[in-house]
Amino acid sequence: MSQTWNQGYFTDAAYTHGYYPDLNPVLQRFTLELQGWALPAAQQPASARHCELGFGQGISLAIHAAANPGHYTATDFNPAHAQHAQALAHASGSGAQVLDDSFEQLLARPELAPFDSLSLHGIWSWVSPANRDAITELARRQLKPGGVLYISYNCLPGWAPASPLRQLFALHDHYASVSGPSVEQRVDAAVQFAQQLLGAQPAYLRSVPQLSARLDEIAKQNKNYLAHEYFNRQWNCLYFHEVVDALAGAKLDWACSATLLDGLDAINLKPEAQSFLKGVQHPILREQARDYFVNRQFRKDLFVRGAVRLRVGEHRERLLSTRLVLTRAAADISMKVTGALGEGSLSEQAYRPFIAALAEDGQSPKTLRQLIPRLGEAVSWAQVQQVLLVLSGMGVVAPCHSEEVERSVRTRCRQLNRQLCERARYGSEITSLASPLTGGGVSVGRFHQLFLLARELGKKQPQEWAQFAWQQLAVQNERLLKEGQALQTPQENLEELTRLAQAFAQQHLPVFKVLQVA
């Protein structure tokens, strides 16, 4: 394959079909407003313009373009990725403009209109300095005042001990790999080379004794993902403050982490760390120091072009007016939350009433203004904010579109979801469907997609859904696994699918109906 157009980016294998919820503009705006940042009232959803850079297979792009009004422009210079994303955009009728431009080519398009948001997942770590400059210039030229930039990237200091592993993988693939082997074989060979090297007890291993365990975890990951993560010619790990400095040229101010739970001290920082950070006044220095305490190796950040703080009354009013919905059955929500320090327990007394209030009326969406009277007079506004931050950070509560916007995108979501469920007949790569309520994706596995497709085709009972799913699997000579063992007979497979379909009808379908993916 020619290496002239890809500028060192790994294109020998397609990227994975993952969905990345942090790219959802509804969630981005909610995260910023929850943290007290003002966004222009002029950024109305119906007229908003969004851009995604380096969209991979385009699953997030397709879902967000279908589930949000306004217009999407997106580019990924791998034409195979662009073709895949174009097909999904066409299926939904979203009208997204899907390109295979480089960042420089995108910059040169004279018709490019200003954006309300610009998002890139992981790309910053995998492209050359010249391409990072092009991204910054794109943000400088095209992002509106008050516009939002979402960026995720590998970072230091967390990556520092293990970055030599990545170097070993890339070096082995460059010097020791021969033409012919598949990507999986090349990845396996590079991992085995690194394992053998560490097995010979190099002096570096004494400085980083946990490196062998880290390598074992890496070896378990998806081979295509590993190829894109580790085999690119460019691989750049930067400190948080270096990214802040780079984006300052686009007049972008760091607002907050896009991961809400990052700001929850109780599950991330020991008391001495909390005490130290309280004495650090500058927000960039404090955030960089925080990365040392949690040993962060991957960041998700939100920047705003001209960040302005909400006044206290405005902040309260914005949150009170936000529609919220549970993303799973109330009974299935755990009172455990995980942070850098490990797993912590939530107060049943503080959190269960909030969940129970949201679960009323069939889990229909409710604003905070509607919820608070149901919580009791003893609950303070500070407690409400804390509960909302934690449950949203856990992904069990999601912000919603207005009813008007929700109605405007239902048809596009239904059309995209039908296409994705049709594809579930042949594989399990895509595991998310679009919700017109939340503007984002909902995790729906292959069997559940097949059950939804069966319902769409007029089959009404779980037994019929199971029979339909088995027909799809049988024609491809596929079998279910139960307790690690493949089920052999058609009867065994059908019985297991029927059990799964009945559980789906009772546990999952009611929530999917609320989220409007069913």
Q: Under the phi-then-psi rule, with left for phi > 0, alpha for psi from -120 to 50, and beta for the rest, what region is 322?
A: beta
Q: Which two structure tokens, joined as six digits, stand for 446? A: 């292959």
484: left (phi over 0), alpha (psi -120 to 50) or beta: left
Closest CA to 189 of 230, 130, 153, 146: 230
Question: CA–CA separation, 425 vs 472, rounded Å?
Answer: 6
Dist. CA 126–CA 228, nearest whole Å = 8
N- to C-terminal Cα distance for the chain? 42
Q: Which of 238, 237, 229 is nearest to 169 (CA)?
A: 229
Q: What is the pLDDT of residue 234?
A: 73
Q: What is the pLDDT of residue 1?
A: 36
Q: Do residues 215 and 198 lie in contact, with contact meaning Cβ atoms separated by under 8 Å? A: yes
Q: Is 331 exposed, middle or buried (0-12, 13-18, 19+ CB in 10 A)?
A: exposed
What pLDDT score does 2 carry? 40
Task: With a cut of 50, list the residues of the chain below it in pLDDT.
Answer: 1-3, 5, 8-10, 42
pLDDT score for 161? 87
The count of other CB atoms within 10 Å of the CB of residue 251 is: 15
Considering the domain delimited by 21-155+237-260+296-309, tell me its CATH architecture: 3-Layer(aba) Sandwich (3.40)
Separation between Cα atoms, residue 101 and residue 98, nearest integer Å: 9
Residue type, 344: G
* Contact in structure between 23 and 46 (CB atoms under 8 Å): no
DSSP-assigned states of every residue in 231-245: S-S----EEHHHHHH
Q: How far is Cα 251 from Cα 140, in angstroms, rounded to an integer?
A: 7
Looking up tokens 């048809």 gives 411
Parse the chain into domains and list their residue ranges.
21-155+237-260+296-309, 163-230, 323-399, 405-514
User: HEC string of 314-350?
Assistant: HHHHHHHCCEEEECCCHHHCCCEEEECCEEEECCHHH
Return the amino acid letter for 100. D
Confidence (pLDDT) at 351 = 96
Q: Mapped to the 3 state alphabet, what secondary structure does 342-379 carry? A: EEEECCHHHHHHHHHHHHHHHHCCEEHHHHHHHCCCCC
- What pLDDT score was predicted for residue 176? 81
Looking at residue 41, its pLDDT comes to 61
Q: What is the DSSP letter of 447?
A: H
